Each structure stands twice: as C-alpha cells, then as structure tokens.
Chains A and B, each alone.
Chain A
Amino acid sequence: MVSKAASTAIPANQVPKLNYLNNGHTLKSWLLTTDHKRIAVLYLISVTFFFFLGGFFAMLIRLELLTPQGDLMQADTYNKVFTMHGMIMVFFFLIPVVPAVLGNFLVPLMIGAKDLAFPRINLLSWYLYVVGGLLITHVMLTGGVDTGWTFYTPFSTDYTNTKIVEAGLAVFIAGFSSIFTGLNFIVTIHRMRAPGLTWDRLPLFIWANYATSLIMILGTPVVAITIVLVAVERLFHLGIFDPRLGGDPLLFQHLFWFYSHPAVYIMILPSMGVVSELIACSARKRIFGYKFVALSSVAIAVFGFLVWAHHMFVAGISLYAAMIFSFLSFSVGVPSAVKVFNWTATLYKGSISYATPMLYAFGFIGLFTMGGLTGLMLATIGIDVHVTDTYFVVAHFHYVMVGGVLMGYLGGLHFWWPKMTGRMYPEAWAKLSALLVFVGFNLTFFPQFILGYVGMPRRYWQYPPEFQTLNVLSTAGASILAAGYLLPMIYFVWSLRYGAIVTDPNPWAAAGLEWKTSSPPPTFNFDETPVVTWEAYNYDEIPPWERRAPVAK
C-alpha cells in the first residue's frame, strides 16, 4: 500500500509552526477553548472513558451469563449492571460519539469554515455532557439504578427504590448537550459553507450529520420532558402513568420510544456518513448515486419518527395500530438498503486500497446488513411477537448500533487520525484490531440471535441450562472483542509520541476540503477561505495515488 519509492517526490508537510494542538499548552487553554477541534479532542477523551466504563459493565454481564445460575453477583446487582451498561453506552457513548468527536472536528473543516457557528455553545455542550456523565457516575457509585435504560413505568415510578430521578437528571442534562450540538451543526451547515460549496457538493458526512442534527433537536426535547414526567410522577404521584389514578403506563412507552427509536438513527446516520467518505477515498471514486445517498439520510431521519410503536407490538397497543407501525417500519428499510447498494456499486471500476479505514467500512457493510435484515424480521409482526424482549432483539440492536456505529467510528478515527494528530497509527496493528473486532463481534452477538429464537428473554440474571452453550460462545467472542477494542486504545496513544509524522498533509490523497489545510490544522482551519469550484469526491482531479505516500519514515 505504501509506495516507499514515491515518498521523496512529495513536498514535505508544511507543518505550520502553530497548529491547533500547540496553540497553548495550559490546562486552561484546553478547558476554556472554543476551538471546535480542541472540543472534539475533549469529547474524544471523555467518550473513550465512558466507552470503557460501559465496556466494563458489558464484561460483567458476559461473565455472569457464563453459567445458568446467578453466581457472580446478586440479582439486584446484575440488574444495576445491565442498566448502567445500557445507559452509559446509549446516552454517553453511542449518541454523542460520532457527531461530537468526528463531527465536531470535521464539520467546519469539511465546509471550509473557521469554526462552528456558536463556539461557546459548543464548549457548553461538552460541559453539559461532562456534568451528565459525572452525575451518572455518581449515581452508579452511590447505589445505581435498576430499571434498564428504558425506565419503563410503573416500575420506575412506583416500584423501585433506586436513584431514578438522579439518573434521569443525568440523561436530561446530556440531552441538552446533544440538542446544542445539533443546533450548532444545523446553523453552521446552513450559514457557513465556503463560497461555491452548494448543497449538492457537500460531503455525505455533512449530509448525514445534518440529518442527525434534525433528529437531535426534534427528538431530544421529547425524551427530556418524558424524564421530567417520570420525576414528577415519582416525587408527587400525580398519576400520569398510574392506572389507579386514571393514568396510562403505555403513555410512557409511546413518549420514550418517540425519541429513543429516532435516537438509533442519531447513532447510525453519522457513521453511515463516515463510511461514505471512507469508501469514496479508498475506491478513489465519487459515491455512486450521490444524491440518493444524501437524501436517503434525510429520508431515514423523517421516516425514523414514524415507527416508534414497533417497540410495542406486544405491549398492549391495538391490532390495527400494530399493523400500521409494522408497515411504516419497513419504509425505513428502503433508504437503508439504498445506501448499502450504492456503497457496493461505488466499488465498481474503482481502484480500491485496503488500508485499515476501508477494512472498517467493509465491516460496517457486513454488520449493518445483518443488523438491518434482522430489523426487517422484527418489523414483521408475527415474528416480533415471538422474539421481542429476547436475545434476538439484543443481538439485532448490537449489530446495528454497536456493529454499525463502532465500525464507522473506528474507521473514521483511523482515517482522520493523521488529520487530528499529524501522526500515523501503526498499520499492521490496526489491521489486526479491525480483524479482531469483526470476528469478536460476530462471535459475541451471532449466537444471541439463536438464543433469542429458542426463547431466552433479555435482562435475565439466571437462565435454564439448555441456553448455556450459546452463552459461553457469546462470552468467548466478547473476550476477543475486548482485545480488539483495547488494541486501538493502546496504539493510538502510542502513536501520539512514536507514530510516523505525516509528511504530506493529505496522506490518503483524499478529496475533502478538510485535507486542503495542514495536518494538524491551524486554529482557524484555513489560512484563506477556500472557494469551491468542484463537485464532492472529485477523485478524477486528484493526483493519482502513486505520487502519494501515507507514511513517511
């Protein structure tokens, strides 16, 4: 992949004396920064922390499930552990990870802007995230919550003594962090594009983040008010969700899923945007059907708001409501399938390289396809009745949310690592970790599809012995997966000091505007505001790869 002979031919990276990383070394210069790139780094550190914290809980879950008996911990402890795993992973990792880290770093760079529209609000959003994160950590250390991340009433309002209100507050605060990020992105993408960068020239990562931001600002307030209702119900017993007082526990589920279903698209859409960038660059091609891929993100965001009750097919909604929501759920399948087909078609007549980012993009397509197809099975009501609330659902959403999001995120992180740090990650180790993640992931979650179909309910602390073999397989896979996630953590940190310094500011010879400035970029991104006269992914106009080298010694 690396053409060593050619590396002399490239101009040395004009590393500016001053870039965003060395512009100020004090802690204060980081904690009070309004530079979107520094905030992205702050987010990177904090979401990584929460990822490993959530991963720690995942490990405890898998260890407990090695044996049918509940022997590692008490039932209550187990319930708190899976609740913490879910809450941390959903609200403090999956939702913020791609928009807040990669999006924050790249949205202004990709559209040729100096920063986001509201740099201070951007910093505020990080602080809100941290406050929410500290609060959830505090809850965890002082007793925990045992409702599952879904807070179903009336269990959460009347039948548990754990820290619901505090945990709800943490999610509420983190929600505002999400809303502010969404607002910032929407205003920035509307108002701050470089001259000539029309909507149909935007990178697909921008389209994806735009669609995501729409969901963030329209959906998140609903979950916020739902949490307030739960808190009010808990504290004052108004009876909103209590049938004894004329309330309805199902109302909670409607409100909760009205946000929490679209939230899945908050997670997956930005990752889809990343994958489009990775495939285009690796195949050196414009994405096949650019407009359809761009609009499919918006379509997913819109349809995503119309399908929430497919989480409730057995919850007690009416027969015909279930049928309508089943029908609508399939509608999301179309734009998702369109994306996969277009990515595949992009490979046709390409010139494809297989650096680590592309391996992750392939991994994304594989896991997302399986996650998506099992999603269609779940949308099929006759099947859903049997497998909902079983490990089938657990496997499905891990394929989509974890398989999808993490593949996109890790692929993107490798791809833009030289942009963010000016240094290269070690390619061989990275390929190994990509392989470990893919194999480990499938070994962890594929057996869970089978477990679900043979009837193992989710959130079970103990289970009948016939389910053990599959659980052991799953735990074995999780160990491989853990190694696959720890490796990048180690070599990324290693590369900060020992990684090869990129001599070419554009080591991938990629087409995006973000590569038209130095790596790492200066504080205000571009010395001169770029003027865009070309379409997105104009790989025919980029010098061929032989003249480039990703790494210099």
Chain B
Amino acid sequence: MARQVDALYIYLLLVSGVMTALIFVAVMLLAIKYRRSKGCVAQQIEGSTLLEITWSIIPLFVMMTFFVWGAVIYFQERTPPADATEVYVVAKQWMWKIEHLEGQREINELHVPTGQNIKLIMTSQDVIHSFYVPAFRIKQDVLPGRYTTLWFKATKPGRYHLFCAEYCGTQHSGMGGDIVVMEPQDYAQWMAGGPSAPLQDTGKQLFSSLGCATCHRFDVQGRGPNLLGIYNKPVLLEDGRTVIADENYVRESILNPTAKIVNGFKPVMPTFQGIVSEEQLNALVAYVKSLSQPATGTAGLQNAPAASSGQPQNMQVQ
C-alpha cells in the first residue's frame, strides 16, 4: 500500500511541479518582458472566453485523474480482505492497548508477521485518537462509542513508528509506540510465549457470567434473538429497516440495546453501558463473531452452543 500511495504522490508532485514551473516561468517572462519603460503603454485586453474555458477544463480533467486514482487507493485502504487476521485495539489517554484473538495483550506495541493481512478493530475508551503508521501510509481515527477499522499487510521485518495523530490532550505526543514486524516463524515463537486464553473464550465466559446466555439461547427461542450465525448477516428490524450485524451493530446492541430492536422481539434487554469495559466488549464481540465461523480445530474454539455452560478459566478480565 505504501508503494501505491508513493506512486500517486510522485504523480501529484510531478503535475504540481510542472504547474508551478509553468506559472513561475510565465510570470517571470511576462514580468521581465513587459516591465515598465519610457514610452511603453499597456495594451488593454478584455479577456478570452475560449482561454477561460480551456484553463478551466484542462485542470478539471487533470484533477479528475487525481480524484480517481486517490479514490481507488482509498477504496482498497478501507476494504479489509476477508482473510485478514483480526486484532483489537483500545486507545485511551495516552496509550494503545492491543489484544490479539489468541489472547496476547500488548501495550504500545503491536507484533505482526510479514505477509499476513492484519485488520485492526479499534475503539477508544475516552477521547478521539488516531492510529497512524507513517511507514505504511495508513491512518484511522479511533472513536469512543464505536469501532473503526484499518488493515495493512507488512512486508519488511522491522520496527515502525506508531503515532497518535489526533490531538488527545497532555501526552498526545507521547502516545506512540512501535509496530514490530517479524518473520512468520519469529512471530509464531513470540505468539507461543504468551500465557493467555483466546479472546473469544474470555467472551464466552462473559456471555455466561453477565447472564446474556439466559435470553440469547442457542437451543430454544429465548427472549432475545439466537446469535448463532448472525454476524455479518442482514437483520430485519422492528421498524422495517434492515441492518448488517457487523461489529458496530453487535457493540451497539450491548451498550444501547433499544436502539435497533430485531423484528419480533421486545425491548427488554438492559443496557450494559458502564458495566462492561472496552476490553470486555471486544471479547464479547469476538465471541459473537466466532459463533458464525465454521468450527476449527483450534483449541478452545468450540462453537458448539452447548458449550455455553463454559469451562473454568483462569483468565481474569481486566
């Protein structure tokens, strides 16, 4: 992505350079040629509609090439590939908290392997921050109260600056860190070092301990919708609208359950605003999402609804 952005940037620099040079040379030449001298009288010229149209249309055309190229890149930047590995990011004044699906947690560092698409699902605990990695040419504001996403694929191992780019208070300039890009085998080793439970297991435990499972049942119809397989599927709402049950919808339904009631259900769910932390929310969202994936062999990733009784876990959610 960085290479594409740079290519476009070079194109813009070239066009701008040519434009600046043209105007500069024209102004200089005219200014010298028509400098005031004795006996020289200015000739009055009204203007020329043809010229005006020419120098409106040509720049407009050139600008449209900027627009299209820029939009194409932007479209790619905003469309994470389906196979991307998800990582949850919680920003707060003034640190970045990273949670890998496998359970690893980091602060102000994000370890990723080369060659793997990484999708960040980000939210803020307080004010607006912005996740900025200049080396990858990517940036996305991180907002309280919702998820924003960002994706990238690192190609070269190394440490890259992570900056907060949206002013967020006293230590704004200190709210940085590193993206640590590793060869896949080094990454696997690093990953193995962490003693944690996968994020969705934490979510599953919360799902049971917060009492979600009493209404959102998987066996019989409960008072709440069955969440099995709903992720990223259209949901018909009571008012006739249809929404996609994406991360933001799941999140909103936990924090503000009456905002978008599913057709056929009553607005009886209490809000969990202020009860669950951002990290717990992420775990819950990861769990609900896991309910839609085909069962994999990964340890602890049982999707079977019957498992909602939960196994004992040591992991304490902070």
**A positions within 8 Å CB-CB of B:** 1, 70, 75-76, 79, 146-148, 150, 152, 154-155, 158-160, 243-244, 246, 248-250, 283-286, 288-292, 313-316, 319, 322-323, 326-327, 330, 333-334, 337-338, 340-342, 344-345, 347-354, 362, 365-366, 369-370, 373-374, 376-377, 379-386, 388-390, 453-455, 457-464, 539-540, 544-546
Given A322-B74, A380-B70, A390-B165 in contact, is the A285-B19 Cβ separation under 8 Å?
A: no
Closest 8 CB pairs of A and B: A243-B145, A455-B134, A382-B73, A380-B70, A289-B47, A347-B30, A460-B173, A381-B74
Q: Give Cα A113 to B145, complex, Å.
A: 56
B144 at the interface (CB under 8 A from A): yes
B161 touches A464 (CB 8 A): yes
Q: A352 to chain B: which residues have CB within 8 Å? A: 30-31, 34-36
Q: B172 to chain A: which residues have CB within 8 Å? A: 75, 79, 459-461
Pairs across A and B, CB under 8 Å, 15 listed: A75-B170, A75-B171, A152-B128, A154-B144, A158-B127, A289-B52, A316-B140, A316-B146, A362-B27, A376-B16, A386-B134, A390-B165, A455-B132, A457-B132, A540-B42
* Chain B 63-78 near chain A by CB (<8 Å), digits 1 or 0: 1101101111111011
- B residues 14-43 touching A (CB-CB < 8 Å): 16, 19-20, 23-24, 26-27, 30-31, 34-38, 40-43
B167 touches A459 (CB 8 A): yes
A252 → chain B closest CB, angstroms? 10
Q: B66 to chain A: which residues have CB within 8 Å? A: 330, 376-377, 379-380
Q: A353 to chain B: which residues have CB within 8 Å? A: 35-36
Q: Determine the residue in chain A with the shortest Cβ distance to B143.
A: A316
B116 at the interface (CB under 8 A from A): no
Q: Give Cα A369 to B22, complex, Å.
A: 11
Q: Give Cα A148 to B165, complex, Å.
A: 13
Given A249-B143, A374-B16 in contact, is the A385-B42 Cβ separation under 8 Å?
A: no
Partner of A337, one of B44, B59, B146, B161: B59
Partner of B46, one of A286, A351, A379, A383: A286
Q: A314 to chain B: which residues have CB within 8 Å? A: 130, 139-141
B72 touches A382 (CB 8 A): yes
- B residues 239-283 touching A (CB-CB < 8 Å): 255-256, 259, 273-274
Q: B38 to chain A: which residues have CB within 8 Å? A: 546
Q: Determine the residue in chain B with the shortest Cβ distance to A317.
A: B141
Q: Determine the residue in chain A with the shortest Cβ distance to B166.
A: A389
B165 touches A289 (CB 8 A): no
Q: Determine the residue in chain A with the shortest Cβ distance to B123.
A: A243
Q: Determine the residue in chain A with the shortest Cβ distance to B131.
A: A314
Partner of B27, one of A344, A455, A461: A344
B121 → chain A closest CB, angstroms? 13
Q: Give Cα A337 to B48, complex, Å.
A: 16
A292 touches B52 (CB 8 A): yes
* Chain B 133-176 near chain A by CB (<8 Å), digits 1 or 0: 01101111101111010000000000001011111111111100
Q: A148 to chain B: which residues have CB within 8 Å? A: 167
A338 touches B170 (CB 8 A): no
* Chain B 112-133 near chain A by CB (<8 Å), digits 1 or 0: 0000000000000011101010
B138 touches A334 (CB 8 A): no
Beyond A326-B67, A462-B173, 18 additional contacts (C-beta under 8 Å) are: A75-B173, A243-B143, A284-B41, A289-B47, A314-B139, A323-B75, A337-B56, A338-B55, A341-B51, A351-B36, A351-B41, A376-B63, A377-B9, A377-B12, A383-B12, A389-B132, A389-B166, A539-B42
Q: Give Cα A292 to B48, complex, Å.
A: 10
B208 at the interface (CB under 8 A from A): no
Q: Determine the residue in chain A with the shortest Cβ distance to B78.
A: A319
Q: B173 to chain A: which residues have CB within 8 Å? A: 70, 75, 457, 459-463
B95 at the interface (CB under 8 A from A): no
Given A243-B145, A373-B19, A382-B4 in contact, is the A159-B93 Cβ separation under 8 Å?
A: yes
B212 at the interface (CB under 8 A from A): no
Q: Determine the residue in chain A with the shortest Cβ distance to B17.
A: A373
B144 touches A249 (CB 8 A): yes
- B residues 82-99 touching A (CB-CB < 8 Å): 93
Q: Determine the residue in chain B with the shortest Cβ distance to A385.
A: B139
A6 → chain B closest CB, angstroms? 11
A454 → chain B closest CB, angstroms? 7
B55 touches A376 (CB 8 A): no
Partner of A316, one of B77, B126, B148: B148
Q: Give Cα A383 to B6, complex, Å.
A: 8
- Interface-central residue, B78, B79, B141, by most chain A CB under 10 Å: B141
Partner of A347, one of B34, B55, B134: B34
B12 touches A376 (CB 8 A): yes
Q: B77 to chain A: which residues have CB within 8 Å? A: 382, 385
Q: A383 to chain B: which residues have CB within 8 Å? A: 5, 8-9, 12, 70
A285 touches B45 (CB 8 A): yes
Given A155-B128, A376-B66 in contact, is the A76-B73 Cβ separation under 8 Å?
A: no
Q: Give Cα A37 to B40, complex, Å.
A: 36
A154 touches B169 (CB 8 A): no
Q: A545 to chain B: which residues have CB within 8 Å? A: 36
Partner of A285, one of B37, B44, B70, B273: B44
B219 → chain A closest CB, angstroms? 34
Partner of A154, one of B23, B52, B72, B127: B127
B188 → chain A closest CB, angstroms? 29
A319 touches B143 (CB 8 A): no
Partner of B43, one of A349, A365, A366, A461: A349
A247 → chain B closest CB, angstroms? 8
A98 → chain B closest CB, angstroms? 23
Q: A462 to chain B: which residues have CB within 8 Å? A: 173-174
Given A354-B35, A453-B9, A461-B172 in contact, is the A292-B141 Cβ separation under 8 Å?
A: no
B215 at the interface (CB under 8 A from A): no
Q: Determine the residue in chain B with the shortest Cβ distance to A82.
A: B167
Q: Give Cα A249 to B129, complex, Å.
A: 12
A94 → chain B closest CB, angstroms? 20
B131 → chain A closest CB, angstroms? 9
B161 touches A455 (CB 8 A): yes
Given A243-B145, A362-B31 in contact, is the A155-B36 Cβ separation under 8 Å?
A: no
B60 at the interface (CB under 8 A from A): yes
B69 touches A382 (CB 8 A): yes
A373 touches B67 (CB 8 A): no
Given A292-B52, A319-B74, A319-B75 in contact, is the A330-B8 Cβ separation under 8 Å?
A: no
